[in-house]
Amino acid sequence: MSERPLSGVRVLDLTNVLAGPYCSYQLMLLGAEVVKIEVPGQGDLARHLGPDAELNRSGIGASFLAQNAGKKSVELDLKDAAGRAAFEDMVRGADVLLENFRAGVLARLGFGWPRLRELNPRLVYCAISGFGQTGPMSQAPAYDQIIQGLSGMMSITGTEETAPLRIGFPVCDTVGGLTAALHISAALAGRTRTGKGTFLDVSMLESAVSAMGWAVSNYLVSGVPPEPMGTQNATAAPSGTFQAADGPLNIAANRQRQFETLCDLVGRRDLLDDPRFADREQRKAHRDALTGELNRALRRRTAGEWERILGPAGVPAARVVTVPQALGLDQLEHRGFFTELPFPDGSGRVLKVTGGGVLHDGEPLRPTGPPPLLGDQNADRAALADRWNGRAENAVTP
C-alpha cells in the first residue's frame, strides 16, 4: 500500500486506559499521526496496569503497550499557563482532538467546544464518556463493568443459575473506542466537503446497547425480553456449544440444510423424522432434547475431528479454545495480524502487538514504531507544533 487512508491526519490524544487509546490506536494503524498529551510525571494510567509488576513500575505496563504503539508522547500540564499555551498551539494545527474525561472536565479547564472551535474551525473534537455529555447520568463515573451492568449485557450472560456475569474482556470500552474511530473517520470525510469541524459526543452506554443487536431489537420490536441462555443461541437450534469426546465444540446449524447435513454426518439421520425437530421453531422449543441427542453422537470424536468434518460440508463448527490457543492459530499468522516491535525501554525484548483486523489492498496495517516512553517527544514538541501549523518546512517529521 502506497499510502494509508488517514495519512497526514494529526490527532491530539488526551485519553487514558482503554476506550480512547483503543480508538487512537485504530486511527494510528490507518495512518494518522497520534500525539498523546500526558500529565507530567504520571501519564496514561494504563502505563501502570498489567500482570507484570516491573513493567508497571517502569511506566510501560502491558495494558499501555497493547494500545499505544506508533504514537508519540508529550507531557503538558493544562492547568499551567505555559502548558495551556503549548496545547492551544497544537490544537490550531490538529485535525482531531480525542479525550475520555468525565463529561465537562475539558470545558472546565477552559477548552470546551466553543473555545476549541475558535482555535481551529476545522477541528474534529471527539469526547468519549460513559454516558455522554448530557443527561441525568452524564456526571456519573463509569468503567467497562459499570457499562456492562447498566446496558443489560450482564443480565443475559451466563445461565439462569449463574447470570448476571461479566463478559470476560472489556467489551464496552472496545465498542466505545470503535464507535469513536468510526465517527471520527466519517467526520473527517465530511469535512472535505464542508470545511468545518465537528463535535462528537460518544456515549459508551449507547454504543454498548447499540452493539447488542437482537437482544435489544427483539424486545423493542416484539416485546420479548432476552434471557440468559449460557452457550446457546436464542435465534436457532442446534446453535451453541456441544460436547465432543475431548471438550466443547461450537456448532451453528442455523439453516435447515445445515441441520440435515449435521444429522447425516453425525450418524443421526433419524432426528430428521422426529416431529420435535422438524423445523426451526420446533427445534427451538425442544432445544434441550435436541442438544442431548447430538451430544451423544458428538462424543464419538474429538472437537478437532468434528471441525474438520463439519466445516468443509457447510456446517459452521469449531473448537472452543483458550486465548493462548487462539493467538497461536495459523490463520492469524497467515494474515499478518501480529507485529513484533522492540520494547521502548531499550531492553532488547520483543513486543508483539495486534493489528486492526482488516487487510488494505491485501496488506495488514502495522504500527509504525513501539509505544512511547512518557514524554518521549517533549524535546520535539515545539518543532512538531511548527510543522503542524506550517511554520517550518524542515521541522521534526513523523
The pLDDT score that the predictor gives to residue 394 is 52
Q: 195 lies in a domain?
A: yes
Residues lower than pLDDT 50 in the chain: none
72 and 207 co-located in one domain: yes
Identify the domain boundary among 267, 300, 320: 320
Catalytic residue positions, numbered: 173
The pLDDT score that the predictor gives to residue 1 is 61
In sequence order, what DSSP letters do the residues of 9-57 get, joined into one string? -EEEE---TTHHHHHHHHHHHTT-EEEEEE-TTT--GGGG-SS-HHHHH
**Percent of the chain topping pLDDT 90:** 96
Q: 3 lies in a domain?
A: no
- CA 130/CA 18 separation, integer angstroms: 12
Closest residue by Cα to residue 58 from 376, 378, 374, 375:
374
Which grid coordinates are listed for 65?
A: 503497550
- CA 238/CA 167 separation, integer angstroms: 23
Contact 94, 10 (CB under 8 A): yes
Q: 350 lies in a domain?
A: yes
20 and 155 co-located in one domain: yes
Which grid coordinates are listed for 335?
A: 494474515
The pLDDT score that the predictor gives to residue 98 is 98
pLDDT in tens, 69-116: 999 999 999 999 999 999 999 999 999 999 999 999 999 999 999 999
Closest residue by Cα to residue 276 from 296, 259, 290:
290
CA–CA distances in Å: residue 213 to residues 153, 244, 271: 11, 30, 32
Identify the domain boundary among 320, 339, 361: 320
38 and 146 co-located in one domain: yes
Question: What per-residue string of b and e applies to 43-59 under the rule 16 or more CB within 10 Å gives b?
Answer: bbebbbbbeeeebbebb
Query: What percent of the residues of the chain are helix, what percent strand, and what percent coil, each to the nearest 5?
Result: 45, 15, 45
- What domain range includes position 270? 239-320
- CA 129/CA 117 separation, integer angstroms: 20
Which grid coordinates are listed for 236?
A: 436457532
- Cβ-based burial of 103 (10 A; exposed 0-12, middle 13-18, buried ≥19): buried
Helix (H) or strand (E) holding 327: helix 323-327
**Domain count across the chain:** 2
Question: What CATH number is attached to the domain comprising 286?
Answer: 3.30.1540.10
- CA 212/CA 110 separation, integer angstroms: 36
The pLDDT score that the predictor gives to residue 397 is 55
Question: What CATH number is attached to the domain comprising 141?
Answer: 3.40.50.10540
Average per-residue pLDDT in the chain?
95
The pLDDT score that the predictor gives to residue 161 is 95
152 and 272 co-located in one domain: no
253 and 342 co-located in one domain: no
pLDDT in tens, 187-230: 999 999 999 999 999 999 999 999 999 999 999 999 999 999 99
189 and 110 co-located in one domain: yes
